[in-house]
Amino acid sequence: MNLSDSEIVASVMLANGYETTTDINEAGIIFLNTCSIREKAEQRIRKRLQALLPLKKKNPDLVVGILGCMAERLKDQLLLEEPVLDIIAGPDSYRDLPHLLEDAGDGQRGINTILSKEETYADIQPVRLDSRGVSAFISIMRGCENYCAYCVVPYVRGKERSRDADSIIQEATSLFESGYREVTLLGQNVNSYQWKTIDGTVNFATLLERVAKINPGMRVRFATSHPKDISDELLQSIAANHNICKAIHLPVQSGSNNVLKRMNRGYTREQYMERIEAIRRIIPGCALSTDIISGFCDESEVDHQQTLSLMEWTGFDFAYMFNYSERPDTLAAKRYTDNIPPAIKEKRLKEVIDLQQKLSLNSNKRDLNKVFEVLIEGPSKRSPLQYSGRTSQNKVVVFLKEESKPGDYVNVCIEKYTSATLIGEVI
């Protein structure tokens, strides 16, 4: 989401006569686009800001700005705490950056953290910052109103709003025409996408199919789905279109009904399992990934064991796993105590990670000797003789280059695997 937002920022700046550089010493303006989801993410930014102080001493004209969720959460408090900063801009104020820069040029400090009910940056053509030119993100909605108890997002990204469907189709079409072969539709909860027109309402299943119909040679992915409202209609759209990728990211957070209730997730363990069964039934061979939080307030050993058993039952192919990090002003911070000792949080998280490692290895083992259609993304990290690409199930595959180039589809037979990568040969 932040990468996608940075591409919008780059576009706003370009339209105002600025350029991007990859050399920090050459930059006259440095923006840090930030995340507040866990305390660690914010601590990392604080360190980066400290590291910029010597640059600013050398070049007093250097302008430093903080963008995104941390700017929104801390607002002008950041100006007091971080003397290096000239600009604070929340996620809905990127169009205002040229004005904020003018303020900074006049020796003032520019701040805009006003959240909007409408802003979707629909008319802004993002400048693609990932130069491989194969896969791109398209932001289809902003904000979130689910208020999961642990989560800061509704406070820092504002009300949920969907972007004009036609502008999404146009952006995807123009990406395909400039050589892109994969788009990922982004939103905090894509299942509640809704765009009203005089002809009726476009929901997420319809939008996804419309994007898929642009060209069968362009893959479509999406993130993130909420288990409480992933519909059979959406699953049927995925099953019916070869180029809609067979991979669903469905964050479960916990396997315990007590914890899910306190988290305000809006589903039970049983309802989550029912959705997994629907996915298995409607889209055979669909990969499943998830997010898990260990050590949420009052989580007991029994609750933790239920998370492990749900992971095992589902057999996730991949997971993002975190320790609970209390965020100021969230429902959990107000209602509950962050009472799981750090050592126990660590121990539980390690058990979750170790189990996922085993599940990922099993999942990759199941792919042995099977043939997958792989979209080539570019040279592999390890060897210039190899390419790296992805299967529809979103697994990374590396193989010897042969007569192909990034953006091509090749059929690869899997010969070896690790828990993170499949290794194969083009057939």
Measured from the CB atom, the residue of 136 and 148 that comes closer to ligand SF4 is 148
In sequence order, the 6+-apart residues with CB closer than 8 A to the CB of 420 are 360, 396
121 binds, among ligand 5AD, ligand SF4, none (CB under 5 to 8 A by kind): none
325 binds ligand SF4 (CB under 6 A): no
325 binds ligand 5AD (CB under 6 A): yes
The Cα 304–Cα 296 span in angstroms is 10
How do beta strands 318-323 and 386-390 pair? unpaired
The Cα 73–Cα 154 span in angstroms is 11
Tell me the sheet residues that pair with 200: 197
List the structure tokens of 152: 């800061």
What phi and psi, each to the nearest 5 degrees, are found at residue 424? -150, -170
392 binds, among ligand SF4, ligand 5AD, none (CB under 5 to 8 A by kind): none
**Number of amino acids touching ligand 5AD (CB under 6 A):** 12
Cβ atoms 10, 129 nearer than 8 A: yes
Measured from the CB atom, the residue of 8 and 144 that comes closer to ligand 5AD is 144
Measured from the CB atom, the residue of 4 and 125 that comes closer to ligand 5AD is 4
253 binds ligand 5AD (CB under 6 A): yes
Per-residue x/- track, 113-152, ligand SF4 (CB under 6 A):
-------------------------------x-xxx--x-
What phi and psi, each to the nearest 5 degrees, are found at residue 236? -65, -35
The Cα 186–Cα 181 span in angstroms is 16
Q: How far is the CB of 296 from ligand 5AD (least distance, A)?
A: 8
The Cα 325–Cα 406 span in angstroms is 39
Site for ligand SF4 in 146-205 (CB under 6 A): 146-148, 151, 153-154, 188-189
The Cα 163–Cα 212 span in angstroms is 17
Measured from the CB atom, the residue of 113 and 188 that comes closer to ligand 5AD is 188
52 binds ligand 5AD (CB under 6 A): no
Q: Which stretch binds ligand 5AD (CB under 6 A): 102-110, 227-235, 324-332, 414-422?
A: 324-332
CA separation, residue 323 to residues 43, 295, 316 (Å): 15, 6, 19
List the structure tokens of 244: 């809609």
251 binds ligand 5AD (CB under 6 A): yes
Q: How far is the CB of 154 from ligand SF4 (least distance, A)?
A: 5
- For residue 293, the SS3 value is strand
Measured from the CB atom, the residue of 253 and 306 that comes closer to ligand 5AD is 253
Binding site for ligand SF4 (CB under 6 A): 144, 146-148, 151, 153-154, 188-189, 226
Binding site for ligand 5AD (CB under 6 A): 37-38, 150-151, 251, 253, 291, 293, 322, 324-325, 327
